[in-house]
Amino acid sequence: MVPVRGRLGPAAALYGTVLAGGLYIAAAGLAPATPWRTAAFVAGLLALSAVEWLGRATRWGLVLQVVLIHAVVAMDTSGLARVLFLLVPFAVYRTLGRRAGYAAALAYAVGVVSWTSATGGSSDREAFGDLIMFAVGLVFAVTLAALAVKADADRDRAERLLDELAESNRRIAALAAAEERNRVARDIHDSLGHHLTAIAIQLEKATAYRERDAEVAARAVTDAHGSARAALAEVRRSVATLRADVPSSLSAELAVLAARLGSPGTTVTSTVHGDCPPGLRATLVRVAQEGLTNAVRHAGARSVTVTVHCAADAIALTVRDDGTGLPGDLSDRPGYGLPGMRERLAAVGGTLELTGPPGLGTTLTARVPL
């Protein structure tokens, strides 16, 4: 138990009551008293109040309190100070535990009975009544001590829970910051990276057709300009909102991707079946965008199709091309496209599958359960 310092509890009120009663009886001459005993009586009660104020949740503090209580009772001539004996089992219970508290209560009950039997009293009836009241007081003292110990344990547990909650909040904040960095990195790769790749493809096409077909080359340059403007707009949206842009129409967005990445040598088509939830459109567009970019840029495909099936229980997005297929080992392949797609899909409970025997094209399938 952690002592509460700088605070006077109920015991201090009992000390004050005994002090006031003892001084009144001494001043009224109702009990024999000498100045030195009265001074010692007052000093002992003040010392007990000081111990209460400093806290006594140590063995030495308990010993000091018990010694002072016995000294005050010895100096008191009015008999009121004997009520302080009830504080001993209370203090022992709080400091040493339940068994020690019960043992102290039993010891003081036996001690008071023995002392009463040895000294006698004004009458047997009064002595028996005093013993009954003292026994009841011991029961209350032990009960209050049990409640106090439980309250202390609850307070300590609450403080530990608050510390754990603060630590959990710090961890959540760190994870949220890491997730936000990953999201921004994915957005940069999927949006700005896509537009830059499209610009590179269109410029390469313009270079390739410059001598053979000036019209195709000019259209490629125009498309490159459009991709550059789209990239700039994407950067401005990202900086302004730091959130992924959710298209108003999945079909329209996929059609824009198909038109932007298509060329005279590569046909890109897209089809959407059913209505997809608006909250998943951004994820589907980013996955389709990465799949199309890989097919056009790396697979040497002549035909690429994007198909989205939106059913009641799941969404399936497929990007299929007739290119060179997958390399033997994707784990050593540089770039962030595949990890980014997997992270996006994992965030919504989805999965990604890639198949593509060499020379037979590649099929990318993303599934998101609803």
Number of CB atoms found within 10 A of residue 190's CB: 25
Give the pLDDT of residue 124: 64
Residue 107 has pLDDT above 50, yes or no: yes
DSSP 128-188: HHHHHHHHHHHHHHHHHHHHHHHHHHHHHHHHHHHHHHHHHHHHHHHHHHHHHHHHHHHHI
% of the chain exceeding 70 in pLDDT? 82
Comparing 19 with 271, the larger pLDDT belongs to 271
Residue 264 has pLDDT above 50, yes or no: yes
For the stretch 219-250, pLDDT in tens is 888 888 877 877 777 666 666 555 444 445 78
| Of 328, 323, 319, the residue nearest 363 (C-alpha) | 319
Comparing 109 with 113, the larger pLDDT belongs to 109
Comparing 270 with 226, the larger pLDDT belongs to 270
Q: What is the mean pLDDT of residues 77-104?
A: 85
DSSP 313-337: SEEEEEEEE-SS---S-STT--SSH
Residue 2 has pLDDT above 80, yes or no: no
Residue 310 has pLDDT above 60, yes or no: yes
Phi-psi region of 323 (alpha: psi -120 to 50; beta: other; left: phi over 0): beta
Residue 304 is classified by DSSP as: E
Residues 285, 244 contacting (CB under 8 angstroms): no
Residues 109, 95 contacting (CB under 8 angstroms): no
Give the pLDDT of residue 229: 76
Residues 6+ apart with CB under 8 A from 22: 38, 41, 76, 77, 78, 80, 81
Q: Which two tokens stand for residue 15?
A: 């000390």
Lowest-confidence segment of 51-55, 220-224, 287-291 by average pLDDT: 51-55
User: Measured between alpha carbons, how far is 174 from 319 in angstroms, rounded to an integer?
Assistant: 36
For the stretch 127-142, pLDDT in tens is 666 777 878 888 888 8
